[in-house]
Structure 1
Amino acid sequence: MTFPLWAWLLFHAVVIAMLAVDLGVFHRNAHEVCLKEAIACSVVWILTGLVFNAFILLAWGPEPALHFLTAYLVEKSLSVDNLFVFAVIFAYFGVPAAYQHRVLFWGILGAVAMRATFIFAGVQLLQAFHGMVYVFGAFLVYAGIRLARRVEEEVRPEHNPVLRLARRFLPIAPDYRGQRFLVREDGRWMATPLLLTLLVIESTDVMFALDSVPAVLAITPELFIAYTSNIFAILGLRALYFVLAGLIQRLRYLHLGLSLILVYIGVKMLLSDLVKVPPALSLGVVISVLLVSGLTSWAAERHEKAHAGAFPLGEEPAKGKARR
């Protein structure tokens, strides 16, 4: 399917306009993003993505619209699983809450450029070499198994190679200078800790893209659908971070749900020459797995709280009484 030039222009016009309003009006001055503001911004970005999905449905029919929605949900879900890393990076650098939105804004813009490059390259590879379907499919199965077997480990930003290079070659200011990334002192430009934070977030996103871009291309090799769904998903990530910052660690089984989705998409890609999976089925699988993993996380937390409330630490249930 060929998408006309005006559709590309419309998409970029919407994105540029929203980003201009976001940075130039609502976040022109640095401030701590409250929960109410974060929820409002997140809802606006999600609704914008859904409206664009409805536009695709009306203009080109149900199949590309289903592909868009499935790819959007997969990318959004994979991004949520990675928000914990952003929180660790902010804590490591001690980034004031008022400046976190600025870092995420420019970090997400860098991610947009990076994802666009990866998606364009991936589509060209799939068109030029059909065998890449099996390479991407096998990689997604491997990534899903790796994610399922993931053990809790400490994220160490200080081991980031980009950060090490920056500290070695860049003059660095000892503390923050407001929301500025660079300052000129004693006749030379110096990087602030805010720029180091941005560099670590950008380099970390490269690893995120290695899983998410093949997953989106496995859902749809159509450039316009893969590109627009991916960009809409990550542009709303900034607001979603401030909504979920305190809840991320409570989604304990999300990584298992995401691993199952990656394996499913990988197997679907490996069998694409033999089996045609309806887009509605893939969308149903993605939504069902996400709901089950979220509800299971919620139920496990409620069970733990109820258990802790019934038997405080160090106490044993009385003999002859059943444990509730």
Structure 2
Amino acid sequence: MDASPLVWTLTVVGIVALLAFDYLFHVRKAHAPTLKEAAIWSSIYVGIAILFGLGVLVIGGSTPGSEYFAGYITEKALSVDNLFVFLIIMTSFRVPREDQQKVLLFGITFSLIARTGFIFLGAALINTFAWVFYFFGLILLITAGNMLKPESSESKSADNFIVRVARKVFHTSPEYDGDKLFTIHDGRRALTPMLLVMVAIGGTDLLFALDSIPAIFGLTQDVYIVFTATAFSLLGLRQLYFLLDGLLDRLIYLSFGLAAILAFIGVKLILHALHENNLPFVNGGEPVPVIEISTGVSLTVIIGVLVVTVLASLFSPAGRAQAAIANARRYATDYLDLGYTEDHTERIRVYTALREEEESIHKLGPKYRQAARDEADLTDLLHRAHVEHDKSVQRAAREG
């Protein structure tokens, strides 16, 4: 799809306008979005992405349209996986829920800028060196293998290398000062945890781009489609985070599905590299006659794997148990952390959610109920949350 400079300009202006709208009307005033708000705006952004794809399909034809949707779905799935890590980082930094939107929007903006740079760099390499397809394919196969391993990388924690360097080099404050990035601590100007969590998310997202960009280049080499599919997959990610809150831990098989998709695209890239081969030590520098995977097949495989993965996770007893236990732990921790939020409504929401997750645990089969009871720290955590709630009710009664 040969996009003119005018089309590029209008597209970039439209994307920047959507980001500016989010900054001005959604995160300017700190608040925790309701489920209804998150659902409405997430639907709007997905709708915009679908309408854009239909426009590409009508104007550009079936091939660019299929490539756009394959790229968008793949990038959206990878971005959901990224939300797990963002959740871990924000929990580690104890980011107040009403300020989490701003942190997420910063991460999305940084991600869009960084990935745009990676996209143009990748396109330049592909146009100059055909062997880059081998390299991208190998990256995806390695990434797919790593997704099947238990997470242990420090880059996916709040205390990653970038944050440790920032804390050593700069004076930092241990407490938040609203949503300010800088404050005065011990009589000196200091970085707040709000800035540090943004640094952590930004640094982590650079690593995400290393598998995200090769993945979409495995589906299309059209730079305009790569850029728009990536951009629209990131827009609305903030709302999706709050919409999926409480369900992220439920998707226990998502990593397996994403590993399968990345491995599939990696094989597709290597097959394409063999078809375009010019490396002298491979088949004498001549193209290798291999089967190439069409965009239609790619789109079918990607959608099929994601549907099976999500359904298997949602209907799996192990998934329900893991989600209930993890959410109960998180809600109890949040409720006990009196500095987590100053919003009384949010504390009521957290305690109500905690009670719902406890009820879910009680409804689990004997094996999973026993698994929850075997976690002594969880039992103690839940007990302390209920004691704190009883004290809170008694204080409110006395004050009333």
Same fold, judged at TM 0.5 (above)? yes
Q: Is the 8 A contact 2:250 2:320 kept in 1?
A: no
| Pair 1:157–1:137, CA change in 2 (3 A) | closer
Work out the CA distance in 2 between the residues paired with 1:269 and 1:229: 18
Residue-by-residue CA offset, 1:192-245 (whole Å, 9 max, x unaligned): 110000000000111111111100111111111111101110122111111112
Work out the CA distance in 1 between the residues paired with 2:316 and 2:310: 10
Shift, 1:179, TM fit: 1.1
Work out the CA distance in 2 between the residues paired with 1:297 and 1:91: 23
Q: Which residue of 1 aligns with 2:150?
A: 151
Q: Which residue of 1 aligns with 2:109?
A: 109
Residue-by-residue CA offset, 1:227-276 (whole Å, 9 max, x unaligned): 11011101221111111121111101111111111111111111121333
- Tell me, what secondary structure is at the counterpart of 1:219? coil
Q: Which residue of 2 aligns with 1:280?
A: 296
Work out the CA distance in 2 between the residues paired with 1:10 and 1:177: 38
**Greater relative contact order (Cα < 8 A, sep 6+):** 1
Work out the CA distance in 2 between the residues paired with 1:147 and 1:199: 24
Moved more, 205-214 or 183-192: 183-192
| Pair 1:166–1:303, CA change in 2 (3 A) | closer
Q: Does 1:258 align with 2:258?
A: yes
| Pair 1:99–1:271, CA change in 2 (3 A) | same
Shift, 1:191, TM fit: 1.1
What is the TM-score normalised by the length of structure 1? Answer: 0.90
Q: Is the 8 A contact 2:173 2:191 kept in 1?
A: yes
- Tell me, what secondary structure is at the counterpart of 1:179? coil
Shift, 1:120, TM fit: 0.8
Residue-by-residue CA offset, 1:41-63 (whole Å, 9 max, x unaligned): 21111111111111111211111
Structure number with bigger Rg: 2
Q: Which residue of 2 aligns with 1:299?
A: 315
Letter in 2 for 1:13: V
Residue-by-residue CA offset, 1:291-323 (whole Å, 9 max, x unaligned): 001111122137976997454756xxxxxxxxx
Query: Please, which runs of 5 or more residues in structure 1 have no aligned partner?
Result: 315-324
- Percent of residue pairs identical: 36
| Pair 1:186–1:253, CA change in 2 (3 A) | closer
Q: Which residue of 2 aligns with 1:218?
A: 218
Q: Which residue of 2 aligns with 1:189?
A: 189
Shift, 1:185, TM fit: 6.5
Letter in 2 for 1:76: K
Work out the CA distance in 2 between the residues paired with 1:269 and 1:49: 26
Residues 1-20 of structure 1 aligned to structure 2 (within 5 Å): 1-20=1-20
Shift, 1:126, TM fit: 0.6
Q: Which residue of 2 aligns with 1:245?
A: 245
- Tell me, what secondary structure is at the counterpart of 1:10? helix
Q: Which residue of 1 aligns with 2:346?
A: none
Q: Which residue of 2 aligns with 1:58?
A: 58
Shift, 1:116, TM fit: 0.5
Work out the CA distance in 1 between the residues paired with 2:99 and 2:239: 14
Letter in 2 for 1:82: N
| Pair 1:53–1:304, CA change in 2 (3 A) | closer
Query: Please, which runs of 5 or more residues in structure 2 have no aligned partner?
Result: 276-289, 322-360, 371-400
Work out the CA distance in 2 between the residues paired with 1:257 and 1:216: 16
Work out the CA distance in 2 between the residues paired with 1:195 and 1:303: 34
Q: Is the 8 A contact 2:252 2:319 kept in 1?
A: no
What is the TM-score normalised by the length of structure 2? Answer: 0.74
